Structure 1
Amino acid sequence: MSTLDTVAAPAAPARAVWARGAVAAVVAAAVNTVVAVAARAVFDLDSRFVGLKPQMVIMATLVTMLAGTGAFLLLRRFTASPERIFTVLALVFAVVSVLSPLSLLGASPAD
């Protein structure tokens, strides 16, 4: 009977995780901005609708991405399986972020 020794890869330093999070945030902000501009053009949205203005999209993306990076670092420090927990949390937040605007479809505009 043999045993297989597994050695976990050493965790990346927090500075490296922050750097990767920052790069991911900038890339995500760029992609989200392109999607938002395309959505405004395709759906001919009212210019008063601020939710898809590039500044709002960039800020929302940067804040949530950096918050996610911080959350991952906290999970890494205090849990045994941070990747699994983070993945579940990220999926939950993704579903909530998609369903929230859809809940407004049947709402009547405010007078």
Structure 2
Amino acid sequence: LAPIITQLLAMAVSRKREYLADAMGAQFTRNPLALASALQKIEAADMPTTHIKGGAAHMCIADPLGRRLTAHEGFVADVLATHPPMVKRIAILKGMGYAQLKKEGGAVS
């Protein structure tokens, strides 16, 4: 039971790190909309690779093994996925970008 709990905790930490990395990247570049656009392009490519082993998947921007669990939302998907849903990451970055534009007085479309 302990190994299963440990693995679930590690995956939860990995997902939180993805969100934190997105926020830090947006803060560093000052362009969260560009980062959201980049994630959309990565998501559109959706090309699984066999060059990345399962143990290194957590170091990638998106799930390199092409597991579709990360595309779904819900309790089970949230608990078992190594990466947060790309749609959710993009939505958060877009929200940050629109808030930044609104704060700066720019047009929001």
TM-score (ref. length: structure 2): 0.31
Higher relative contact order, chain-length normalized (CA < 8 Å, sep 6+): 2
The structure whose Rg is larger is 1
